[in-house]
Structure 1
Amino acid sequence: NGNAARLVLREDGSLNAALEAYRGLRTRLMRAQSKSGLHSIVITSSLPGEGKTLTTMNLGLCYAQLPQQRVLVIDGDMRAHGLTSMLDHPNSPGLAEILSGDVAPDEAIVATNQKNLFILPAGMVSSPPPELFAGTRWQEFLGHCGEMFKVILIDAPPILPRVDFELISAACDGIVMVVRAHHGQRERLQNTASTLDRKKLLGVVFNATDVSAKDYHGYEYGYGYGKD
């Protein structure tokens, strides 16, 4: 079993606000899950650099801290590999090999040092990502995971530059958008949200931080929702 090398959410005095924000997001998503029975949630953003990968990882940690909440976090951003870089063995087989039919899911899913938290790295891409997600294996794989995990969180590519997101989200139950707040993005947010399936849009996470990955003391997370 591998370990997630940089599990970034720590419960100490400096992170109380961030921790509570993630717990609040988890609560709202669990409420949506109980109403509609959704399992797979895509975490995305309009553009790169808005904090979607960190949000996905920390939300997964929050879910895993609850009893009987087996959670799978998937690196679906095969171009950036941001979540995969948090692993001890970033070159391990992953989602790309599963969708190519080269490995079985159980061979690629990695257990972490957090109970109930499992990660699937992006893997080594040999075909363009749209071709991998366009086949039937992606939907079949999510169905398989839905039988083993309470919730599946997918760190997806940004919405605007890539077609990958549309293919990934089509097979998933819900979408959460991450937005770096206070950067004059209201118009772009509205334009991006208008392209999404409103029935799947579970909410928007406003990420107000602008600090480096080595210093977590400045993180402030808020969250707003398009619907209750």
Structure 2
Amino acid sequence: MSIIEKAASRIDRQRSAATASPVGQIEAAALHSATEIPTVTVADTVIHDTVHAIPAAPAIANEQPAAPKVSTRRVELDLARMRDLGMVTAAGGRTSLLEDFRIIKRPLLQRAFGERKPGEKPGNLIMVTSSLPGEGKTYTAINLAMSIAMELDHTVLLVDADVARPSVLRTLGLPPQRGLMDILVDDKLDMGDVLLRTNVDTLSILPAGTSTPRATELLASSTMSNLVNEIANRYPDRIVIFDSPPLLLTSESRVLASHMGQIVMVVEAQTTTQHAVKEALSQLEGFNNVNLIYNKTRDLPGIEETYDYHYG
């Protein structure tokens, strides 16, 4: 047998072995020139196998979305300290302040769950603001939240949205925490990661979070719109109180107002000028359901400060 015949015989034997296993097929194909048979690589085989594994995906698409994360973070409000500071507490007895806020909250609650016209913002989103600092807006927001928390049919979320100068936690004697701004900056954070449950079972707190120079843009973002809609609609009995920055000092308050169904403006008696009030109200032109709380009034000398509620 010639050398050529022996080589041909060896190739025939290799071809016969190739039919016995996939690995043999790949080795036999390698003996042929690239112009005769396309080269088969291990990568081609892996991709081929992966493509055939895809039919399992539709079952995943039909799964129910994960349930909202429930916050397990809890803080203890010092209710005795709050009572001593003149704040509303359930155990504080029947005080004139408690009665004032019972009057203040009633029309807000009625609007919160009343019929909404097309395009109107949810009425259970209530912003508390003022013209200038020091008029009592944070004090009012906390007392309003505490008063609504005493209702039998409602829960309250108190949001510190005064992101430039957060004061809700400080007023309550609590340390700073992550909160609203952190959710808007980090899309991996859920509200359940930063929400604070309290020892008042019907009251939760969303802190302002980490300060950022982009606060106005973040509050105007679609992420904020989605978050506001989520917290407004997740629980049908919820009232959401936003402690807002003063209207005449920052741009955040007007942006925040665009998300709100109701706005409460606190006016400090005998201190805030009529010009400041008019200028602040001009910032809210075009917004419905703007109400005024006339704060720190004295009816007679020596009589304790009271709250008087007016509609604007």
**TM-score under structure 1 length normalisation:** 0.87
Deviation at 1:198? 4.7
Q: CA RMSD in A?
A: 2.2
Unpaired runs of 5+ residues, structure 2, are 1-73, 117-122
Contact 2:297 2:308 in 1 (8 A): no
Deviates more, 1:187-196 or 1:40-49: 187-196
**For residues 180 and 297 of structure 2, what CA distance do their matches in structure 1 show?**
30
Whose relative contact order is higher, 1 or 2, with alpha carbons under 8 Å and at least 6 apart? 1
Query: Corresponding residue for 1:50?
Result: 135
**Structure 2 residue aligned with 1:137, among 223, 229, 242?**
223
SS of residue matched to 1:35: coil
Corresponding position of 2:126:
41
2:109 to 23, 30, 36: 30
- After TM superposition, list the pairs within 5 Å mapping 1:1-228 onto structure 2: 1-5=74-78, 7=82, 8-10=87-89, 12=92, 16-37=95-116, 38-87=123-172, 89-101=174-186, 102-146=188-232, 147-148=234-235, 150-183=238-271, 185-208=273-296, 218-226=304-312
Letter in 1 for 2:220: A
Change (3 A) 1:131 1:184: closer
State the secondary structure of the residue aligned to 1:107: helix
Would the alpha carbon gap of residues 104 and 87 (structure 1) be closer, same or farther in structure 2, given more than 3 Å must change?
farther
Whole-Å Cα distance in 2 between the matches of residues 150 and 187 of structure 1? 36
- State the match for 2:50 in structure 1: none
Matched-pair contact (CA < 8 Å) for 1:2–1:88: no
Provide the aligned length of Structure 1 versus Structure 2.
Answer: 219
**Percent of pairs with identical residues:** 27
Cα displacement (A) at 1:88: 5.6
Provide the secondary structure at the position in 2 that maps to 1:208: strand
Structure 1: stretches of 5+ with no match in the other structure: 211-216
Q: Distance in 1 between matches of 2:223 and 2:167?
A: 23
CA 26–184 in structure 1, closer or farther in 2 if over 3 Å, else same = closer
